[in-house]
């Protein structure tokens, strides 16, 4: 997105587009890209489908985007609490840690499991 993005109107190129892709970076201390992505969702006003990165899979986006527009955003997510067996895992995490599980924690857990398997396999070879 342009550094001089005008938060009051969508860029002219959007008029000819069939959809809008919003792919802000995630997990950084700079919230500029996230804020601009929410602005784009709101400025679109539900007129075109919005294809979004999973970095927008945040409660903050739901809170700041216009409520009627949140259902107009299509997002590929790598983990969701309603996935197969995720509810059981989320319940175990909640019981153990006393808090809810989010996608980042779930993916970190899976990454550690894979690394543990690789290290055990390499050690026994």
Question: How many other β-carbons are positioned within 10 Å of the β-carbon of residue 85?
Answer: 7
Range 76-97 average pLDDT: 81
Provide mean pLDDT across the span 39-61.
87
71 or 42, which is more confident? 42
Q: What is the mean pLDDT of residues 75-87?
A: 78
| Ranges of each domain in the chain | 12-75, 86-124
Q: How far is CA 78 from CA 55, 71, 82, in A?
A: 10, 18, 12
The confidence score (pLDDT) of residue 2 equals 65
Share of the chain above pLDDT 70, in %: 95
What integer pLDDT is reported at residue 51 of this predicted model?
A: 93
Q: Each residue of 89-118: pLDDT tens digit?
A: 888 888 988 888 887 788 888 889 899 989
């Amino acid at each position: 997105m342009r550094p001089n993005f005008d938060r009051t109107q969508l860029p002219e190129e959007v008029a000819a587009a069939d959809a809008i892709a919003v792919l802000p970076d995630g997990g950084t201390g700079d919230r500029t890209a996230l804020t601009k992505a929410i602005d784009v969702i709101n400025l679109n006003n539900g007129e075109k489908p919005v294809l979004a990165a999973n970095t927008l899979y945040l409660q903050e986006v739901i809170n700041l985007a216009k409520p009627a527009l949140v259902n107009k955003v299509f997002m590929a997510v790598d983990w969701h609490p309603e996935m197969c067996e995720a509810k059981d895992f989320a319940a175990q995490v909640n019981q153990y840690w006393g808090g809810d599980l989010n996608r980042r924690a779930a993916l970190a857990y899976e990454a550690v499991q894979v690394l543990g398997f690789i290290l055990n396999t390499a050690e026994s070879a």
